[in-house]
């Protein structure tokens, strides 16, 4: 079965975007470019808000966070309203207009997760995060999405999303790994345990945005997930165009390397430069307000490259290592603590794959020998890596057995069995 493109139409906002993009390309004046770019943003935003049924973000009423999650798991980070609205819009389009509350401008990731859990139980659709992700458009990400739309090719768009993703969410970082034939966009959580909902939503939205940026709705992707194979695995094939792979060591989207060079439909270097300046200003303000999340983001993104030190992170944040350490201390944290949290999470991801030996896990995490890794992991988990792996694999086997016995059933957001009728 061929991949299904995002279900939301572009036609309601296509006219102002195309007109402004053409004018921007033809103009030779930097002042005119700036004015037209701002006109472009205003026209586009107005069209988006009309589609969403509100005149401005300021018009969205505040929401009191769910009492089950308020104050809980704050370390999971925050998400912005831009990343919450696609769920509410999807529900409204499918007849649940009054079922869910309007979101706050910023909410905890735990409260965001609770919204999805409630929505899944409301609709009875365990694949809801996949469907919402497949309906996402680049413009749903506000300035970040506009900047991606003005990139020259997909590789540049991924780099933009990597740098500025914190403008919309603080749940995960994004990694990019490239080989001779393939490329993969990696979902790198800041802290665990993490919900499959976040993984499904992220990979489905990445695929949808990439297809729309390039005008290639039939582009397929191989999706990898760390959670066990669900009963509704065929839905994943519909979303990504290929069978998904489950119980993998890392959640990621794999595709042919040549796709990185695919041109973005409305790419324009001058427009991109203006939008990146706006994104950089917003990012600087966000980083000043929460240094811990900024450092956590850079650690998660840099673990794969191995280029990681307090000096490197401080340089990226445009401050001295001493100032960085002091800011972290003021927040009750430290670079060492955040690094160990990231290493522990990544170690668990690798250990979940029985094909990767413990010695290889140590090497992948930057340890020169297995012994120091063994000691570190025992300090983190209270048990050895081997014991943790056996426990995890046994738990996964029990889970898979329960699923096979329960077929044809599926799981709700909270793990309850829902029988198909």
**Three-state DSSP class for 292?**
helix
Rounded to an integer, the average pLDDT of 259-274 is 93
| Band of residue 218 on the pLDDT scale cut at 50, 70, 90 | very high
Residues whose CB falls within 8 Å of the CB of residue 100, separated by 6 or more in sequence, listed in order: 87, 88, 91, 115, 118, 119, 122
Rounded CA Rg of the chain = 22
| Band of residue 404 on the pLDDT scale cut at 50, 70, 90 | low
Domains in the chain with CATH codes:
11-270 (no CATH), 290-395 (1.10.10.60)
pLDDT of 66: 33
Nearest-CA neighbor of 177 among 191, 193, 165, 188? 188
pLDDT for 91-110, tens place per residue?
A: 888 887 555 555 556 788 88
| Band of residue 25 on the pLDDT scale cut at 50, 70, 90 | very low
Rounded to an integer, the average pLDDT of 70-97 is 71
- If one counts every other C-beta atom within 10 angstroms of the C-beta of residue 306, the result is 9
pLDDT of 219: 96
Residues whose CB falls within 8 Å of the CB of residue 186, separated by 6 or more in sequence, listed in order: 174, 175, 176, 177, 250, 251, 252, 304
Rounded to the nearest 10°, the torsion over CA 28, 33, 34, 35 is 120
Instruction: Round to whole Å and give the CA distance between 310 and 305.
Output: 15
pLDDT of 103: 55
Rounded to an integer, the average pLDDT of 106-131 is 90
Backbone angles phi, psi at 189, to 5 degrees: -70, 145
The answer to whether residues 240 and 207 touch, using CB atoms and an 8 Å cutoff, is yes
Q: Which residue has the tokens 């900047």?
A: 147
Rounded to an integer, the average pLDDT of 300-309 is 74
pLDDT of 53: 41
Query: Of 8-12, 280-284, 299-303, which gets the smallest average pLDDT?
Result: 8-12
pLDDT of 50: 44
Single pTM value for the model: 0.60
């Amino acid at each position: 079965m061929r991949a299904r493109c995002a279900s939301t139409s572009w036609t309601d906002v296509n006219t102002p975007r195309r007109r402004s993009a053409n004018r921007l390309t033809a103009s030779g004046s930097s002042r005119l470019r700036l004015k037209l770019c701002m006109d472009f943003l205003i026209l586009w935003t107005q069209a988006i808000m009309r589609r969403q049924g509100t005149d401005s973000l300021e018009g969205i009423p505040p929401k009191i966070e769910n009492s089950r999650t308020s104050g809980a798991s704050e370390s999971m980070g925050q998400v912005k309203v831009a990343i919450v609205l696609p769920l509410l819009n999807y529900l409204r389009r499918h007849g649940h207009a009054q079922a869910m509350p309007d979101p706050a401008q910023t909410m905890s990731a735990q409260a965001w997760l609770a919204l999805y859990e409630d929505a899944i139980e409301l609709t009875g659709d365990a694949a809801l995060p996949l469907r919402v992700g497949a309906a996402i458009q680049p413009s749903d990400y506000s300035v970040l999405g506009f900047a991606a739309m003005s990139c020259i090719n997909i590789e540049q768009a991924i780099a933009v999303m990597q740098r500025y993703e914190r403008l919309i969410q603080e749940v995960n970082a994004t990694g990019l790994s490239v080989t001779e034939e393939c490329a993969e966009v990696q979902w790198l959580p800041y802290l665990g345990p993490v919900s499959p909902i976040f993984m499904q939503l992220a990979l489905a939205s990445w695929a949808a945005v990439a297809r729309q940026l390039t005008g290639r709705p039939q582009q397929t992707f191989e999706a990898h997930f760390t959670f066990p194979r669900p009963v509704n695995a065929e839905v994943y094939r519909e979303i990504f165009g290929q069978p998904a792979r489950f119980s993998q060591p890392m959640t990621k989207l794999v595709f042919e390397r040549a796709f990185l060079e695919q041109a973005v439909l409305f790419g324009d270097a001058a427009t991109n430069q203006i939008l990146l300046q706006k994104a950089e200003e917003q990012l600087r303000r966000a980083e000043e307000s929460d240094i811990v999340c900024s450092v956590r983001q850079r650690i998660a993104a840099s673990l794969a490259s191995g280029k990681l030190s307090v000096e490197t992170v401080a340089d990226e944040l445009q401050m001295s290592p001493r100032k960085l350490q002091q800011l972290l201390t003021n927040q009750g944290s430290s670079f060492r603590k955040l690094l160990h949290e990231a290493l522990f999470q990544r170690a668990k991801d690798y250990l979940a794959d029985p094909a990767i030996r413990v010695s290889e896990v140590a090497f992948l995490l930057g340890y020169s020998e297995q012994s120091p890794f063994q000691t570190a992991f025992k300090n983190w988990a209270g048990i050895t890596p081997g014991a943790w792996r056996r426990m995890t694999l046994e738990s996964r086997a029990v889970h898979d057995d329960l699923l096979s016995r329960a077929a044809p059933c599926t799981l709700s957001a909270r793990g309850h069995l829902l029988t198909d009728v």
